[in-house]
Amino acid sequence: MAILGAYLKDDDRNNMLLQRTIRDIDERDFIAALAGMDEASRQALYRNISRRAYESIYADLAEKEASLGPQAIQAGVAEFLRILAMHERHAAIMAPEPGEYRHGTGSIAALRSNLLIIAQACLEDDFALLERLRADEGDALMRDGIRMALDGTDPLAARGRLERRRELLLAAMGRRMDMAIEAFDCILSGESVGQTAERIEPFVDDD
């Protein structure tokens, strides 16, 4: 029985899962996995790598196999199947329809839904949808994130910018909360509008 029996059929879903697994597995583990695969499973993997990569691997596969012991080969196959199962699990999670995107919601569940819609749009290179979501998005952090997804910004650079944006937003939120607390302290103490205005003026000046 073929090790990759469920993935031998040459279709888009199988090929996508195999390609992602090949991308994520260490090269030595991939060679070990190939050494432990039956011929049908090997062919399923070969069809999902470039001709240049195939020629490079196939040229000295026998030599590399000889340097691997049974335990290394078994471990390579197990690692390949582990990563493949992970991608299979991920592929089973479907993104909501774009029409379910909700702007300006404070719900964590709604935010999760929005982020999955963005993730799906990025995978499908649906730049028109991303641009529409960005233009209508009122949240500065989300708007920046979508813009950087559109621009193809380096992930590390994007994380740095988004973390900086988060710091600025949290600082502004804290200042507004402090201002409200100060104002209600005045109001509940029976102070006049003028006194309240003076007490909260520094927060306005700092904005």
CATH number of the domain within which 25 lies: 1.10.220.30
Rounded-to-integer distance, Cα 170 and Cα 6, Å: 49
- C-beta separation of 96 from 133 below 8 A: no
Q: Is the pLDDT of residue 56 over 90?
A: no
d(C-alpha 13, C-alpha 88), whole Å: 10
Question: Does residue 144 carry a pLDDT above 60?
Answer: yes
172 or 206, which is more confident? 172
Q: Do 198 and 141 belong to one domain?
A: no
Residues 131 and 173 in one domain: no
Parent domain of 126: 98-153
Q: What is the pLDDT of residue 59?
A: 67
Same domain flag for 13 and 59: yes
Residues 6+ apart with CB under 8 A from 45: 4, 18, 22, 33, 34, 37
Helices (H), the chain: 12-24, 27-36, 39-46, 51-59, 61-66, 70-91, 108-123, 127-136, 140-151, 155-188, 193-205
pLDDT band at 107 (very low <50, low <70, confident <90, very high): confident
Asked, for residue 119, whether it belongs to a domain, the answer is yes
The residue with greater pLDDT, 206 or 181, is 181
Is the residue at 158 inside a domain?
A: no
Residue 50's identity, in one-letter code, is S
Do 129 and 77 have their domain in common?
no
- Total tally of structural domains belonging to the chain: 3
Whether 161 is covered by a domain: the verdict is no
In order of 91, 92, 172, 176, the CA distances from 21 in angstroms are 12, 15, 43, 48
* Residue 146 pLDDT: 96
Given this model, what pLDDT does residue 207 score?
55
What is residue 131's predicted lDDT score, i.e. its pLDDT?
96
The predicted model gives 180-186 an average pLDDT of: 94
Question: With 90 as the cut, is the pLDDT of residue 27 above it?
Answer: no
- 41 and 87 co-located in one domain: yes
Is the domain of 104 the same as that of 84?
Answer: no
The one-character DSSP state at 5 is G
| 125 and 57 housed in the same domain | no
Backbone angles phi, psi at 57, to 5 degrees: -75, -45
pTM metric for this prediction: 0.73
Rounded to the nearest 10 degrees, how much is the dihedral formed by the CA atoms of 89, 90, 91, 95?
Answer: 130
**Is residue 159 assigned to a domain?**
no
193 in the same domain as 121: no
